[in-house]
Amino acid sequence: AQKVTQAQTEISVVEKEDVTLDCVYETRDTTYYLFWYKQPPSGELVFLIRRNSFDEQNEISGRYSWNFQKSTSSFNFTITASQVVDSAVYFCALIGDNAGKSTFGDGTTLTVKP
């Protein structure tokens, strides 16, 4: 069985602060993919980043960066210099090697105050 845990239910920061969202996963698959999605108040889930299990290289894309560590089964996501428009619910998700269903965490609600 697969499981994704987002221990942080809610985070509140002031604009321009950096914020890291934590994600811990469990899977028995040797090949898997990890994702972060953003769900703004409008409700539509928006894809942000993807990483496969064979690529632990951490990258930066604009204000987003991620830290994937297989040794600790963690896939953390950082927003640098947060903005009010970053306020949303953020979901971490896992797809196993059957490339079918995703398992989602319960989300972290990020509030960025001006």
Contacts of 16 (CB under 8 A, 6+ apart): 81, 82, 83
Look up residue 67 and give its two tokens: 């830290």
By the rule CB under 8 A, 26 interacts with other proteins: no
Footprint of other proteins on 33-52 (CB under 8 A): 33, 35, 37, 42-47, 50, 52
Segment holding 46, helix H or strand E:
strand 46-52
Nearer to other proteins, 18 or 56 (CB): 56
Q: Provide the 3-class DSSP secondary structure of residue 112.
A: strand
Question: Does residue 102 bind other proteins (CB under 8 A)?
Answer: yes
The contact set with other proteins (CB under 8 A) reads: 4, 33, 35, 37, 42-47, 50, 52, 91, 93, 95, 99-107
